[in-house]
Structure 1
Amino acid sequence: MRFSKPATTVDQQIDLLVERGMRVPDRDYAHHYLTHLNYYRLGAYWLSFESDHHTHTFSSGTHFDDVVSLYVFDRELRLLVMDAIERLEVSIRTQWAYHLAYEHGPHAYLDQSVFKSSFNYARCISHVEEELGRSKEVFVSHYREKYTEPQLPPIWAVVEVMSLGQLSKWVSGLTRGKDRQAIAAIYEIDEVVLTSFLHHLTIVRNICAHHGRLWNRRVGFQARIPKKPKLLNQSLNLQQPKQLYNTLVLLQHFMNVISPGHHWQARLVELLKKHSIVNIEAMGFPKGWQDRPIWAGIRIIKGR
């Protein structure tokens, strides 16, 4: 079938929303938002307000303000999630570089035997070389000017130019399980959980970085559910493992380890209160979620 939908003006878009049952009491307000927010982009948020997805009619009482509130909530949620991911990423970089340098030497990443045969070493080292070539960091130019061998800087410098996606591959690509476990132990979880969560977070981070809808999204790659610590497992929603709630639980766990005394949980709770229109069950939040160990302030220790 050939695509035949015509382009529409902002006023026509507002008329269409009203025709489908949305209440737009302030057209100037709606016009402003639709001037700066693509109608198609905002459509991902009013989808949850539709009573019939085939005809795109809205549930009775749906306001344009409700859609904007949901959009703003999602934007603020992305910023909150990115804050936690940033801290986790910096911490993982530190632990990966520290452990490998101590166990295998300052240039451990140049030793292919440290990594699995299935690990695409050539491609990953090529990415590192490309990033170093583009980097304007002083520590990179300093190494080039002062040292001739090895050609590339030590692992603690190289890790600082890696993306989260690349770091995830380098961590999961380690040959020795005890190397992966030594890193995971810092965060009181199993190495399988750590490596799968890093892969999962790479996808989540990309969604956030490209300003994509996050709040009720099912991320394609699901992080492994940790069986231990037991209290962490009890904090998860095992019935809806693909929803964002479990991602938030694991981020909260990492924040507790990396930054004790943080206010990340308080900011999350405040965000949910501020945007009470949001259906948190669509995010995978179970009833009584704040009473679960991770949110109730119970110290989660590995093995418990």
Structure 2
Amino acid sequence: MKKFLTHNQQLKNLRHKNLVIKNSSKTKRILESENYYTIINGYRSIFQDPSSHRPFRFRNGTTFEEIHSLYELDAELRNIYMKYILKIEKSFQSLVAYFFAKDNKNNNRAYLDFRNFRKPVLKKGFPRANAIHKTIAMFSNKMANEHDFAIQHHITVHQEVPIWVLINSLTLGEIAYVYYYLKDHLRLEIAKYYKNHRNKEYSTHVYSIRPDDIDNFLFSAKHFRNACAHNERFFCKSTGRIQNIGILKNQMKLYLPKKDFQTFERQINRTIVDYTNKFVSIPINQIKRQAGI
């Protein structure tokens, strides 16, 4: 069982593991406000002495300030990515609602009928074909949310909630399921929309976006979104389909307007430059390699 350590004992433990602590008072204040486990256990691995395994030892010269700088860099990267993931989330909300409503223009409750969705071929790593019932149940649960003013207003005044109203309450992960179960022609319409807009913006015809590509992106991107939302370690985040945040960034290019993507990329690069001189025991390039950026 892990023993409780006071903040002073934590500092002693870190020094015992070869970590340089330049300012005990400042380090203690940081640990008091930001949690030992989150900072040290979350970000220490890249600073490990490669010749040590058990017990853990830091590389010679590693300072607490370096670990805390990586912690802060990670927070900035999360904030940048979250901003643009949410833009993509909003874009998919809008397109899914538009094309589904257009295809079911005489029925504002069409999303509650499983016959208006497809039964996809079973693929490893994707939802089962009959899990559409869970997605429809999710729609019903959203309608029952008494704290969502827009939804409750439409129920009270119109006795129904159009999908373009309901869709705003869905997260990227929920949108991934809805898109996955859309009928094939609607999935293709949305894929064509992104493909045509990106090719037009970049004056090229090299971008090919298929519905399966969107499935792969959405079901992976939701994990990165959740990591951002819950302040999890982000710079070395990986999923089965997207191995690092650099690959995620490159895939986000397909779903962001060109101007937004260019700003997104500049913000990442500027943030990396701002932190370059804060690392001594390891080069910034080692962090960039793990992140894929």
Q: TM-score, normalised by structure 1?
A: 0.79
- Once the two structures are superposed, what CA deviation does each residue of 1:76-101 show, in whole Å capped at 9, x if it has no partner? 11111100111000000000010111
User: Counterpart in 1 of 2:67?
Assistant: 67
Contact 2:224 2:237 in 1 (8 A): no
The 5-angstrom pairing of residues 63-212 of structure 1 reads: 63-105=63-105, 106-117=108-119, 118-148=129-159, 152-176=160-184, 178-188=185-195, 189-212=209-232
- Sequence identity percentage: 22
1:58 aligned partner: 58
Post-superposition offset of 1:256: 3.1
Give the CA deviation at 1:75. 0.5
Q: CA–CA distance in 1 between the matches of 2:235 and 2:178?
A: 29
Change (3 A) 1:132 1:53: farther
Retained in 1: the 8 A contact 2:112–2:139? no
1:23 offset after TM fit, Å? 0.8
Judging changes above 3 Å, is the alpha-carbon distance between structure 1 residues 96 and 131 closer, same or farther for their aligned structure 2 residues?
same
**Aligned 8 A contact 1:93 1:167 in 2:** yes
Counterparts of 1:183 and 1:281 in 2: how far apart (Å)?
Answer: 33
- The answer to whether 1:40 aligns with 2:59 is no
Aligned AA (1:47)? S
Aligned to 2:250: 249
Is the CA contact 1:135–1:161 (under 8 Å) kept in the aligned structure 2? no
**Which letter maps to 1:133?**
A
Change (3 A) 1:47 1:206: same
Structure 1 residue 190 displacement after superposition: 1.5
Q: Could you say if the C-alpha distance between residues 217 and 142 of structure 1 is closer, same or farther in structure 2, counting changes exceeding 3 Å?
A: closer
Distance 1:30 1:260, change over 3 A: closer
Pair 53,71 (structure 1): closer, same or farther in 2 beyond 3 Å: farther
Alignment pair present for 1:30 and 2:27: yes
Deviation at 1:137, TM superposition (A): 3.5
Which residue of structure 1 aligns with residue 205 of structure 2?
none
Secondary structure of the equivalent of 2:253?
helix
Unaligned runs of 5+ in 2: 120-128, 196-208
Partner of 2:47: 49
Alignment deviations for residues 133-155 of structure 1 (CA, whole Å, 9 cap, x no partner): 2243443232222233xxx4111
Corresponding letter in the other structure for 2:191: A
Equivalent AA in structure 2 for residue 252 of structure 1:
K
- Report the 3-state secondary structure (helix = DSSP H, G, I; strand = E; otherwise coil) of the residue aligned with 1:184: helix
Q: For residues 146 and 54 of structure 2, what CA distance do their matches in structure 1 show? A: 50
Aligned partners of 2:98 and 2:164 also within 8 Å: yes
Partner AA of 1:108 in structure 2 = A
The structural deviation recorded for 1:114 is 2.5
Which deviates the most, 135-144 or 19-28?
A: 135-144
User: What letter is aligned with 2:241?
Assistant: Q
> In the alignment, is the contact (CA less than 8 A) between 2:253 and 2:261 conserved in 1?
no
User: Relative contact order (alpha carbons < 8 A, sep ≥ 6): 1 or 2 greater?
Assistant: 2
* Structure whose residues are more often helix by fraction: 2
Size of the aligned set, in residue pairs, is 258
Give me the CA root mean square deviation: 1.8
Paired residues of 1:184 and 1:191 also in contact (CA < 8 A): yes
Offset at residue 121 of structure 1 (A): 2.7
Structure 2 CA distance for aligned equivalents of residues 262 and 132 of structure 1 = 37
